[in-house]
Amino acid sequence: MFHKEGHKIIAISFIIVVALAVATNQLISLEWLRVSLLLVLMVMLVLILQFFRNPKRHFKPDSNLVLSPVDGKVVVIEEVFEKEFYNDKRLQVSVFMSPLNVHVTRYPVGGEVVYSKYHPGKYFVAWHPKSSEENERTTVVVNNSSFGNVLHRQIAGAMARRIVNYAIEGSQVNQTDDSGFIKFGSRVDVFLPLDCKMEVKLNDTVKGGLSVLAKR
């Protein structure tokens, strides 16, 4: 199963790979070179399919839990001053995604979308300290009955050149629904109240919509 954001890219990639494979078979006489090029084309297609996969998962929404919005590795857990929306201190949890991770961004909590904004910016590598404030990014805040306003921020990385954000201010969203998609590697930051009980630690591997980041 593939995410809708990848349908066009997958179709175009498939056509290009098939065309190049036919041309390779017709134009390359050296068997070792022909086989090598065909293998490279196959690997490229598999990587694209891998990137846009959207596996079926059995979610169990819980208003007392903050779930990871994406697949990846926890690279930051720290108290910070968040100045775009809160203007006070929050717990920041950052999840880094490699190009091989599932890149669907899911709402970590359910509730009303009270803030949704796109910011153009730079393309530092996703783990760079300045990427959260200077890279291309989208910021979404959902007001939740248990945690209040929970902010998650999609951040483009050195490879990511397109962030898709589905959040519309004033809309009601469910925990684990699709919030957006980041193409080709990046990270997502989640900002939580200071009194949350953290359920992850640095370098933990998490799954979007399944792994618990924090609870009451």
186 is annotated as an active-site residue: yes
CA distance 14 to 11: 5
CA distance 129 to 92: 12
CA distance 96 to 108: 15
Catalytic residue, chosen from 13, 94, 179, 186, is 186
- 19 CB-near residues (< 8 Å, 6+ apart): none
CA distance 123 to 136: 7
Active site residues: 186
